[in-house]
A = this chain, B = another copy of it.
Amino acid sequence: MTFETLARALETDSNADDDINREFLATKHAADIAQFLDEHDADTDWRVLNLLDIGRQAEILGYLDRKQQVALARSAPRARLAAVVSEMDADDRADLFNALTEDEQEALLPALAQAEREDIRRLAAYEDGTAGAIMTSDYAVLSPDLSARQALDTLRREAPDKETIYRAYVVDADRKLLGSVRLQDLILAPFNKQIEAIMERDTRAVRVDEDQESVARKIARYDVVALPVIDTDGRIVGIVTHDDALDVITEEATEDFHKAGSVGDLAESVGRASILMLYRARVFWLVLLVFGNIFSGAGIAHFEDIIAAHMALLFFLPLLIASGGNAGSQASTLTVRAMATGEVQLGHLGHMLGREILVAGLLGLTMAMAIYGIGAWRGGLDIALVVSLAMVVIVLAGSLIGLTLPFVLTRIGLDPATASGPLVTSIADVAGVLIYFGIAQTFLF
């Protein structure tokens, strides 16, 4: 049996195959079932979910696309929805809640138990993009004066409700974070040893308002399964787990990638976004860059006389402009990515500039040699000289613009990722026109 035969069985509207379908679903991972549900409508999805126990339903719901989650939430009676939502992981539940309208939220809340209501309210309150927004409240805490055996008993009792007990957090009476214990150290310890003596003290906690990308990078750096999240008083309020870190890193890479191609915010994935969403994500930069390129046009118009006198110059125009843009795009790409991974910071500008001048100088000379011959062939030695000289200066200028712009954007509080691609190219274009015809005017008149 496959997901295709499941789809066909569901179309028949009979319950004859329920047992077979149930058996099939039992062999599949929740993530795979969720993908199947994502591709079908809410009614079909509920028919599938109804074949499973409530815990599995909640697990699958957690893997669903946000849009599909909302569709399912809207097509179910309140009590039915509340039953599944209660079983979801705390962070998934809060995310789903945030995606509902205010009216829907108000309708759902009374159907939930008080503890879950409070939990949702608390998690849903944190700002998007912070540790608070991606953390879960399903973590295990231990008191420092327990013995290893008592601690294991506590975890045994609590485990079914917790997202992970691979690491339990040790807190004092005020829930202030004291340290953490790995489950494997707990089972290795003598039964009567105190938690205080087993725990690691320097648990690297993150603040609840810390940027999600910075949290994800710390999880990667320290190779941990989870990091605890603390409030301003040092009390633990949640944990961020390794799978959330993976999602954040993928999501942020996509965002940076899109920005580098001058595509704006796209809330949905490309495949699911509507025509209008795609239009909106692209039109802003496209139109903005039109106005940037008017400067290039004005530059050319300004040099109409020299162009009219030496039409051969036109042949090299796209080549020179594009080379400056390409060199700039390379320099900004390297800088933007190194900033995103934390390797390059604001203070490194001086050092980077020195290196860039050397690299770009070498590149410019190589490019000049590549086009000197073509210049001589198309327009004679004068043109060849102008074109080669312009190439060196343009590649150098483009590279320095590409390197500097991400630093400038960061300095004024904007995202450096905006700098790669079309924005750098447009600025380098203007510079290219002015440099090219400026040099031409100096040498040919």
Shortest CB distance A154–B (Å)? 11
Chain B residues with CB below 8 A from A296, complex form: 318-319, 322
14 A-B residue pairs with CB within 8 Å:
A31-B222, A159-B188, A166-B166, A183-B184, A242-B243, A249-B249, A270-B338, A271-B343, A285-B330, A289-B322, A293-B323, A298-B315, A304-B314, A322-B426
Residue from B204, B275, B304, B363 within 8 A of A311 (CB atoms): B304
Chain A residues 303 to 335 lying within 8 A of chain B, measured CB to CB, are 304, 307-308, 311-312, 314-319, 321-323, 325-327, 329-330, 332-335
Residue from B165, B253, B329, B334 within 8 A of A270 (CB atoms): B334
Known pairs A250-B341, A283-B366; list 11 more (Cβ under 8 Å): A29-B202, A155-B187, A159-B184, A183-B184, A223-B243, A242-B243, A249-B249, A263-B333, A270-B338, A287-B370, A308-B308
Shortest CB distance A412–B (Å)? 22
Q: Please classify how large the interface on chain A is, using the bins under 10, 10 to 19, 20 to 34, 35 or more.
A: 35 or more
Is the beta-carbon distance between B289 and A326 smaller than 8 angstroms?
Answer: yes
10 interchain residue pairs of minimum CB distance: A261-B333, A296-B318, A253-B253, A223-B243, A293-B319, A297-B315, A270-B338, A220-B246, A242-B242, A326-B422
Is the beta-carbon distance between B334 and A261 smaller than 8 angstroms?
Answer: yes
Is the beta-carbon distance between A337 and B254 smaller than 8 angstroms?
Answer: yes
Is the beta-carbon distance between A275 and B359 smaller than 8 angstroms?
Answer: yes
Q: Is A152 an interface residue (CB 8 A)?
A: yes
Chain B residues with CB below 8 A from A261, complex form: 260, 329-330, 332-334, 420-421
Copies of chain A in the complex: 2
Chain B residues with CB below 8 A from A327, complex form: 282, 286
CA–CA, A145 to B248, complex, Å? Answer: 40
Is the beta-carbon distance between A363 and B286 smaller than 8 angstroms?
Answer: yes
Chain B residues with CB below 8 A from A260, complex form: 257, 260-261, 333, 421
Shortest CB distance A219–B (Å)? 7
CA–CA, A312 to B307, complex, Å? Answer: 12
Is the beta-carbon distance between A318 and B300 smaller than 8 angstroms?
Answer: yes
CA–CA, A296 to B421, complex, Å? Answer: 20
Q: Is A355 an interface residue (CB 8 A)?
A: yes
CA–CA, A425 to B315, complex, Å? Answer: 18
Chain A residues 357 to 408 lying within 8 A of chain B, measured CB to CB, are 358-359, 362-363, 366-367, 370-371, 374, 378, 395
CA–CA, A210 to B343, complex, Å? Answer: 30
CA–CA, A363 to B289, complex, Å? Answer: 13
Chain A residues 270 to 296 lying within 8 A of chain B, measured CB to CB, are 270-271, 275, 278-279, 282-283, 285-287, 289-290, 293-294, 296
